[in-house]
């Protein structure tokens, strides 16, 4: 493992390279300037944290799959993770890259670390649904985005034209729906989906979404080991983090020694009439037919134990959806009821909070 994070103390920002001492001065100046917005100050606070002699960094989880918590990592672990990404994506020195994510989360922190480690030219912008809107950026070599940002960009001709100048786009922080994947298939630049979490310092596996080498399988980065537990949930060994396997709640099908197909979340697993099924698998069959945010859930049922329902973020229900159920789904997968709700409950990272939304509907039905 590479240990000396102190070797990586210079950083290029917006085309200008800053050595450690001047970077510290710039950070302090930005933080003290009342005109600097909080999101930008937070980026420079993290830069100072990286430059600090301490060998540890505190990282917060998103809370999207459980209670948010703080994890402490060694900087040498973050360094090793950044090098694994560099080896996969083949960054070159001075490659321009864009940070459009909230620095509060590990994905953004690791993007800054990658810029330090790989000597990338880091551009940053206020996190928003469309980071390209109103900005005149150069051609980027690499841009990480979350699905809701990508959806917004595809809805803006000027923004998608700007994104098309980017060589590689990494999409993470949530599952891609089939509609978004279909849009990506038409693009000529390279799109990748990431699989990871705060506990693994972001992605430990990647899949190519479009182009001749696209695949449904995630492939683990170098030195990563995979296995499944008795419930079919993925376990991952990231050697620069721990010598023990890290357990997830993700149902997967292993492919070879270093690949897997994601099936859904174990916590969302449905048992209806004795048949166990993943709601995400049902959703994948419906996503191209329902033009609104939706998800599969259950309500208690005296006969089935759990009856499958469909929750849709809309003000009206299209009765034709029942015909779609008959055509696209197995009999045991078909929702027995449809509920519309004007506004779903979302997490701070813009993912649907299934439990809270379902509880809201249940209480008001």
| SS3 of residue 184 by DSSP | helix
- Distance, in Å, from the CA atom of 192 to the CA atom of 149, rounded to the nearest integer, reads 15
pLDDT for res 1: 45
Which range, 63-77, 233-247, 273-287, 347-361, has the best average confidence (pLDDT)? 233-247
Q: Is the pLDDT of residue 253 over 60?
A: yes
Averaged pLDDT for residues 234-241: 96
pLDDT for res 8: 92
pLDDT for res 347: 83
Share of the chain above pLDDT 90, in %: 77
- Distance, in Å, from the CA atom of 150 to the CA atom of 155, rounded to the nearest integer, reads 9
* Cα-Cα-Cα-Cα dihedral sign, residues 168, 57, 148, 336: positive
Averaged pLDDT for residues 195-216: 92
Buried b (16+ CB within 10 A) or exposed e, 182-220: ebbeebebbbbbbbbbbbbbbbbbbbbbbeeeeeebbbb
β pairing state of 259-265 and 218-220? antiparallel
Averaged pLDDT for residues 299-328: 93
- Distance, in Å, from the CA atom of 37 to the CA atom of 209, rounded to the nearest integer, reads 35
Band the pLDDT of 65: cuts 50, 70, 90: low
Pick among 3.40.50.300, 3.40.50.12780, 3.40.50.2300, 1.10.1660.10: CATH of 5-266: 3.40.50.12780
- Distance, in Å, from the CA atom of 38 to the CA atom of 357, rounded to the nearest integer, reads 30
Same fold, 5-266 and 269-364: no
Q: Is the pLDDT of residue 64 over 60?
A: no
Domain residue spans in the chain? 5-266, 269-364
| CA–CA–CA angle 318, 322, 324 (5° rounding) | 100
| SS3 of residue 197 by DSSP | strand
Averaged pLDDT for residues 226-238: 96
Averaged pLDDT for residues 41-69: 84
Superfamily name and number for 269-364: ANL, C-terminal domain (3.30.300.30)
Contact residues for 74 (Cβ-Cβ < 8 A; gap 6+): 55, 56, 57
C-beta of residue 278 within 8 angstroms of C-beta of residue 264: yes
The mean pLDDT of the chain is: 92
Which range, 6-10, 27-31, 134-138, has the best average confidence (pLDDT)? 27-31
Greatest CA separation for the chain = 69
| SS3 of residue 330 by DSSP | coil
């Amino acid at each position: 493992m590479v240990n000396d994070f102190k070797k990586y103390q210079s950083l290029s920002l917006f085309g200008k390279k800053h050595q450690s001492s001047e970077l510290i001065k710039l950070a302090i100046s930005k933080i003290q300037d009342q005109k600097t917005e909080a999101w930008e100050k937070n980026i420079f606070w993290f830069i100072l944290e990286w430059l600090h002699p301490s060998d540890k960094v505190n990282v917060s989880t998103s809370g999207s799959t459980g209670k948010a918590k703080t994890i402490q990592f060694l900087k040498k672990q973050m360094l090793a993770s950044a090098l694994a990404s560099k080896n996969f994506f083949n960054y070159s020195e001075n490659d321009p890259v864009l940070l459009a994510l909230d620095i509060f989360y590990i994905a953004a922190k690791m993007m800054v670390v990658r810029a330090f480690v790989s000597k990338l030219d880091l551009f940053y912008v206020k996190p928003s649904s469309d980071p390209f809107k109103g900005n005149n950026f150069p051609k980027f070599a690499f841009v990480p985005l979350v699905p809701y940002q990508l959806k917004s960009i595809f809805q803006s001709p000027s923004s998608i034209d700007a994104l098309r100048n980017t060589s590689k786009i990494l999409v993470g922080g949530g599952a891609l729906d089939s509609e978004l994947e279909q849009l990506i298939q038409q693009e000529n630049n390279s799109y990748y989906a990431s699989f990871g979490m705060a506990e693994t310092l972001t992605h430990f596996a990647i899949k190519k979404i479009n182009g001749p080498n696209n695949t449904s399988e995630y492939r683990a980065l170098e030195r990563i080991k995979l296995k499944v537990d008795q419930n079919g949930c993925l376990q991952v060994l990231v050697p620069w983090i721990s010598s023990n396997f890290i357990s997830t709640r993700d149902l997967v099908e292993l492919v070879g020694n270093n690949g897997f197909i994601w099936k859904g979340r174990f916590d969302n697993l449905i048992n209806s009439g004795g048949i166990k099924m993943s709601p995400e698998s049902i959703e994948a069959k419906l996503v191209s037919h329902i033009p609104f945010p939706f998800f599969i859930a259950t309500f208690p049922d005296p006969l089935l134990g759990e009856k499958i329902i469909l929750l849709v973020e809309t003000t009206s229900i299209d009765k034709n959806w029942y015909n779609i159920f008959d055509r696209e789904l197995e009999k045991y997968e078909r929702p027995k009821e449809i509920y519309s709700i004007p506004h779903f409950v979302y997490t701070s990272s813009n993912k649907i909070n299934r439990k809270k939304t379902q509880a809201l509907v249940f209480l008001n039905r």
